[in-house]
Amino acid sequence: MAMPSSVELNQAFGGKGSVSQTQDVAKSLIDEERSGRLMRSAQPQDNCRIGFNLVATFSSATGQGATVSDWLDFGTMRFLAEPCVTTGCMRLAQVGEPSLPADKTGYDPASFLTVPGDAMVLCYRTDDRGLINGAKVVLVALGSVPDGYQVQISVQFFGTAIRKG
């Protein structure tokens, strides 16, 4: 049996040639090894924090006073156990209301709709090692709100974590 020609070799590897196929595999193996090495050399640290500022827009389609966030990705941080969660909120100017000066002089709670918001963890996401690397939260309005009402809700996660380099 004769050796395959270069054209036959290229066609056997999807028209890219054998070198590109082996380079892709080698690169992914190197990246995987690096990721594991960085994770093995990382040390747990106490009092790690990651925070998110989420703008919640409420509508009758989402049950009027609740909406679910997308996955909040903790990036290079991996919590060893479920982190402690704290929340806070900030009022946002609503569509159609008169604008206020930067220092908010003239603000009257009776004239401007102000309903605070809060967040509650729905679930956590874990990686293949069982470390927590993300969360989904339910954003709620703490009162009745009209369609399109917006509030900025801050969510902070605290706990013992590993920072992957």
Query: For each of the chain's 165 residues, which pLDDT tens digit applies?
Result: 677 776 676 666 665 655 555 567 778 777 777 766 666 666 788 889 999 999 999 886 655 678 899 999 999 899 999 999 999 999 998 888 888 888 888 888 878 888 899 999 999 999 888 999 999 999 999 888 888 889 999 999 999 998 876
Residues 140 and 61 in one domain: yes
Residues 17 and 93 in one domain: no
- Residue 43 half-sphere exposure toward CB, CA atoms < 13 A: 2
What is the per-residue pLDDT for 76?
86
Evaluate whether 136 touches 52 at the Cβ level (below 8 Å).
no
Classify residue 1: in a domain, yes or no: no
Q: How many domains are there within the chain?
A: 2
Provide φ and ψ at 132, rounded to 5°.
Answer: -80, 120
Classify residue 94: in a domain, yes or no: yes
What is the per-residue pLDDT for 138?
94
The CA–CA distances, whole Å, from 114 to 24, 147, 149, 155 equal 55, 14, 9, 19
Q: CA 5, CA 13: separation in Å to the nearest integer?
A: 13
Residues 29 and 90 in one domain: no
Task: Please work out, in degrees rounded to the nearest 5, the angle formed at the alpha carbon of residue 18 by the alpha carbons of 15 and 19.
Answer: 115
Domain that holds residue 33: 6-39
What is the per-residue pLDDT for 65?
73
Residues 96 and 34 in one domain: no
Residues 50 and 34 in one domain: no
